[in-house]
Structure 1
Amino acid sequence: MATVPRHALVALGAAALLGVSACGGTAAPPAAGSSATAAASGSAPAQGTWTWSDDRGKNVSLPQRPQRVVAQSAAAAALWDFGVQPVAVFGPHKLKDGGRDPEVGEVDISKVESIGNVWGEFNVEKYAAVQPDLLVSGMYLKNTLWYVPEQSLEAVEAVAPTVGVQLSGKPLVQIIEKYGRLAAALGADPKAPAVVEAKNRFDAAGAALKTLAAEKPDLKVMIVTATPESLYVAYLPDHPDLKYWGELGLNIVHPERPTESEGGFWEVLSWENADKYQADVILVDARSQSMKIEEMAKKPTWAKLPAVKAGQLYPWHAAERYSYLGYAKVMEELKTNLDKSRDDVVK
């Protein structure tokens, strides 16, 4: 696996991180305030132009609504759930066995062109060959399109306009709504039965998680990811999903402040200090490039943590797409796991 920059750990909704701490760098992939002058359905206005202001403050204006959209895998997954099917994707979408990477959601990878599948891989020639009208990507760091290599950005933007959706520093529901508005502007029906059903399912899952949190106020939950060198403990305010769960009442154990070198998102602990925080349940980064629980088990301090000894380790879908369907599934799974968890593991 290619070495991934440190900031790949910083990004939640995206995916590549093994070998992070071997590299320096603070750059990284990270809704509201954008608008389309197209009608609510996404149809082009009378003068025949399509416009959109993205979260960089960049205004895109095209003669007609974009038909051929290329998107980073997580963005593609969100758009797909709202009814827009990109012609090509980049970022994690295909596993080594040929199966679909969870980060690309419901996207049918047999029907989209692959522009790149791992960090640093973006084939500009293939991108140009699909004749895109628009590129869409999430952003974790301001003005930085996730998975678009900085050295390729000029060439990429010479082919077609780009749209960035800010992910960090935004409420979860606001980000989901942003993708929904973008999808509508691209021609999707915001009142399609599948979209309405997904929204209802999301609301129900959130309500159920809120009820569980009220019934188990003493259940302490911690969220982590790891490299062979370090344990990263999630800083609640910088993660839209975790912040949302905290607002629902979930008792989340998190640092008071992140490690400064990470630009937010995490407190970085050496494995010797992995027992700094105690929790009844630990949610572990489920991304395919992350350090696996079996590997972490070899670290003595990790093995001694109360949640680890109690077997209360569950997946955290750090790169989940920002759609109602995506997070409905995440919260349903989370509730199922927390329902069966003891809240007296931490003494």
Structure 2
Amino acid sequence: MASVPRRTFVALGAAALLGVSACGTAAQPTGQAPAQSQGPWTWTDDRGKNISSPQRPRRVVAQSAAAAALWDFGVRPIGVFGPHKLKNGGRDPEVGEVDISKVESIGNVWGEFNVEKYASLQPDLLVAGMYMKDTLWYVPEQSVEAVDQIAPTVGVQLSGKGLVEIIDRYGRLAGALGADLDAAPVVEARKRFEAASGALKTLAAERPDLKVMIVTATPDSLYVAYLPDHPDIKYWSELGLNIVSPEKPTESEGGFWEVLSWENADKYQADVILVDARSQSMKIDEMAGKPTWAKLPAVKAGQLYPWHAAERYSYLGYAKVLEELKADLEKARDDVVK
């Protein structure tokens, strides 16, 4: 496996699926946000930037995870950038329920953003999450000035925020863009999320000794998730799950992780290890060749399950994550760490 750029792991604060269909308003034209309302449109984003437009934006382009969240609330972007198509042509889990056959691709990998194609779409608005302060996720630094000249941009802060707070923020943005937040699919997804949260909380109370660690990896290093910097992991901890987390992240990495050499991969031990499931991350079978990894209790017990590190921030997206996590943990032993 090719090495994943370290900055990708650093910036990925937290974040990738079955059940309720994507939320939406069927009467809206495919590829656009819901119909415009009369009068000006305003929004203050999480950079403190005030965006104003004579009318509600309809032609929205969004980073894949942001597009997925907006889609679940009923907004239909016309273009996406960031991971959305796998090598086999299938839909990348990071783009959620978005129909990639009906949106334009502005770029599919880190550093790829076709400014000319973006401009040709005549966008009204660009939306992206932000893991680093005031930095739109997957908008290359060298393209920021050009992108800003084409259409207004909205940033949604992801790190340093609570999971439910971020989901609510995307929901309110979707509502401002015309989505019906009282539509049955949206309401059902929220109920499903709340039920899944309650079920995981019950499991955590019943299994207090079950230790869970979350990791991602490159051929050179093992990255152990630092709980406070990942909204999803922090939420699980708030529900009572026993999370194995470093006391502090590796400072040179900008937070989010403690970075361990493979020689020191046995620094922390847990009954269960959740492994980054993103397509660009090191796979479990690739990690099996690392001697210290192979000796970890959870690895020897076969208690390795996926962590959807780039899941979209919607009730539907995280309902699925919570349901899968509960199902995995239910079958796990809590006595593999001696």
| 1:283 aligns with one of 274, 279, 283 | 274
Displacement after TM superposition at 1:7 (Å): 1.9
Amino acid at match of 2:64: S
Q: Deviations over 1:166-221 (max 9, x none)?
A: 00000000000000000000000010000000000000000000000000000000
- Counterpart for residue 160 of structure 1: 151
Amino acid at match of 1:102: P
Distance 1:143 1:233 in 2: 25
Displacement after TM superposition at 1:12 (Å): 3.5
Amino acid at match of 2:223: Y
- Of structures 1 and 2, the one scoring higher in RCO (CA 8 A, sep 6+) is 2
Displacement after TM superposition at 1:322 (Å): 0.1
- Counterpart for residue 90 of structure 2: 99
Distance 1:159 1:296 in 2: 43
| 1:181 aligns with one of 172, 184, 209 | 172
**1:273 counterpart = 2:264:** yes
Distance 1:13 1:111 in 2: 27
- Counterpart for residue 316 of structure 2: 325
Distance 1:93 1:186 in 2: 22
After superposition, the Cα gap between the structure-2 partners of 1:72 and 1:118, relative to the gap in structure 1 and judged at 3 Å, is same
- What is the correspondence of 1:91-130 to structure 2 with a 5 Å cutoff? 91-130=82-121
**1:263 counterpart = 2:245:** no
Distance 1:261 1:188 in 2: 41
Displacement after TM superposition at 1:262 (Å): 1.2
Distance 1:168 1:305 in 2: 30
Q: Deviations over 1:149-178 (max 9, x none)?
A: 000010011110000000000000000000
The share of aligned pairs that are identical, in percent, is: 82
Distance 1:315 1:90 in 2: 24
- Counterpart for residue 7 of structure 2: 7
After superposition, the Cα gap between the structure-2 partners of 1:45 and 1:148, relative to the gap in structure 1 and judged at 3 Å, is same
Amino acid at match of 2:8: A
Q: SS at the partner of 1:71? A: strand
Displacement after TM superposition at 1:263 (Å): 1.1
- Counterpart for residue 286 of structure 2: 295
- Structure-1-length-normalised TM-score: 0.90
Equivalent pair of 2:308/2:321 in contact (CA under 8 Å): yes
Displacement after TM superposition at 1:77 (Å): 0.1
- Structure-2-length-normalised TM-score: 0.92
Amino acid at match of 1:8: T
Equivalent pair of 1:13/1:74 in contact (CA under 8 Å): no
Amino acid at match of 1:12: G
Unaligned runs of 5+ in 1: 16-41
**1:86 counterpart = 2:71:** no
**1:250 counterpart = 2:251:** no
Equivalent pair of 1:122/1:149 in contact (CA under 8 Å): yes
- Counterpart for residue 299 of structure 2: 308
Equivalent pair of 2:15/2:308 in contact (CA under 8 Å): no
Unaligned runs of 5+ in 2: 17-33
Distance 1:2 1:52 in 2: 40
Displacement after TM superposition at 1:43 (Å): 8.8
Report runs of 4+ in structure 1 exceeding 3 Å deviation. 1-5, 12-15, 42-46
Displacement after TM superposition at 1:3 (Å): 6.6
